[in-house]
Amino acid sequence: MGLGSRRQMEEVIKSGRVSINQKPATIGDRVEQGDEIRVDGRLIKYKSEREKRRRVLAYYKPEGEICSANDPEGRTTVFERLPKLTHDRWVMVGRLDINSTGLLLFTNDGELAHRLMHPSNEIEREYAVRILGELTPEMMRNLTDGVMLEDGLAKFEDIKQGGGEGVNKWYHVKLKEGRNREVRRLIESQGLKVSRLLRTRYGSVDLPKELRTGRFIELDRKDIHRLIELVGLRAREEMGVHGKAKEKKERFQKKPMKARHVRNNQKSGPSTGPKSGPRSGGPASKGRSSGKDSGSRGGRR
């Protein structure tokens, strides 16, 4: 209901501050629609998960933002850009490190987020990677056959060249899990270094062409339906944007807003500056390019 994190609310329950039908609640109690839930005596209005409108946001993360709800160092977090929810919360689907950019999904459906991230569902992610150096055919075979990292065997499902000039070469890679810094560690296992990393797809959702860095767009029912089919969830009566929100999305698609940059108060990680979008000679070989604006890109890949 957006009152706090799971861990925080467990402590609130243990301390006796939550009641169900005027009786003290304990961890593991189950409730049904119509039960009276109070926190510190205040009546909580709620809906069952099945009755809530299922929502999904696609967000274009810039470099320098932290994939966390709060950062003790005061750096910008991805949650600061999102619309506020009442009696609900956004759950992040996967992560990107501070130096990576691209598609992040957020949803108010915790089960959908869990299934999209769980390794057993093998949801495919795609990245555009700029490498300092060049992957040889032997290196590509190593990376698709599997490389033993410190946390186990890892591999790319596919690698394709993406162009580039000089010492920097672009590649498009796919993988079916989301371990910490996995793309970077796989490339580094071949003695090379990643200089840019952009996630372009998560499951059935491509990074929308109208998005600029620091901006989000809400998915419609059709897009969400494709996502839930990947993980075997049932559709809900209400899913995606509708009404005025749908009209706003359509206006946004016709006239995208300018990129938003990370404020310069983070203690580590680069500022986005004018470098936050892939440039010509990089992933543009597959249809993406950037104009003068840092987050602008060309058509879909």
User: Cβ(112)–Cβ(94) under 8 Å?
Assistant: no
User: Cβ(104)–Cβ(59) under 8 Å?
Assistant: yes
Residue 218 to residue 205: CA distance in whole angstroms: 12
Residue 246 to residue 243: CA distance in whole angstroms: 5
Residue 15 to residue 123: CA distance in whole angstroms: 39
Residue 274 to residue 279: CA distance in whole angstroms: 10
CA 109, distance to chain mean position in Å, is 14
Distances (CA, A) of 272 to 126, 186, 282: 21, 24, 17
Catalytic annotation present for 223:
no
The phi and psi torsions of 253 (rounded to 5 degrees) equal -65, -35
Sort strands 193-202 and 205-206 into parallel, antiparallel or unpaired: antiparallel
Given 71, 88, 97, 220, which residue is catalytic? Answer: 97
Residues with catalytic function: 97
